[in-house]
Amino acid sequence: MSQVSNLDLIFLGPPGAGKGTQARKISAKYNIPQISTGDLMRASVLSGTPIGKKLKKYMSSGVLVPDELVLEILLDRLEESDCQYGFVLDGFPRTVPQAETLANALIKKKSPISAVISIEVPDEDITKRLTARRNCKCGASYHLEFLKPKVEGVCDYCGKKLFQRKDDTKEVIENRLCIYHKQTAPLIDFYQKQKNLYPVDGKKKIEMIFSEICDIINKLDSL
């Protein structure tokens, strides 16, 4: 396990780019929490609370959840004690107003974003990745071809049965991609202007991408 002081990372990229896959590995290596707004909100949907019912309506069709709802959930999570030395944000921010609110919250914390890792994968690869993704309730994720569990259909970590996410169907994936290009891709320009954008080629093998991201982080520490 490596330790880098105040490591506040954002993982940006289209649906299925590998944000979660890489964020989990970085979280384990640098001992900082992985915070996925998608996972947080899916947990809320499962709980069946009134807010969960509202979230389900947006998430099942692949449209973005309104900023005010996501921001409330995310800013609360950042207040938790495990975030004091850093975090990996996976799937947040997704709109310019979300990015601006986050920047203001971090100014108060006196801990600006260390780096925005932009994982680049062309649209034509995304459908293949997401229709063959399988998930576990414990947060682990697999791919039927590129990242197989040891036993078919069973999680390597907790032994539970794997499932397919409801938004990983061809039609919903197309909608998610369309929304990504309209509402989230402008963040590439936003962070490029702030000179903390680090693009990585998400078409490479999982371990190779991981090693490139670790190189970026290790160089940040020596700045």
Residues contributing to the site for ligand AP5 (CB under 6 A)? 13, 15-21, 36-38, 41, 58-59, 62-65, 70, 91-94, 98, 129-130, 133, 141-143, 146-147, 167, 176, 202, 205-206, 209
Comparing CB distances to ligand AP5, the nearer of 78 and 209 is: 209
In angstroms, give the least distance from the CB of 221 to ligand AP5.
25
Residues annotated as catalytic are: 19, 94, 133, 165, 176
Comparing CB distances to ligand AP5, the nearer of 64 and 88 is: 64
In angstroms, give the least distance from the CB of 138 to ligand AP5.
14
In angstroms, give the least distance from the CB of 200 to ligand AP5.
10
Comparing CB distances to ligand AP5, the nearer of 78 and 130 is: 130
Ranges of beta strands (E only) in 56-159 are: 86-90, 115-120, 133-135, 141-143
- Counting Cα atoms < 13 Å in the Cβ hemisphere of 59 gives 20
Measured torsion, CA atoms of residues 216, 222, 194, 197, in degrees rounded to the nearest 10? 0
- Counting Cα atoms < 13 Å in the Cβ hemisphere of 62 gives 21
CB 99, CB 185: distance < 8 Å: no
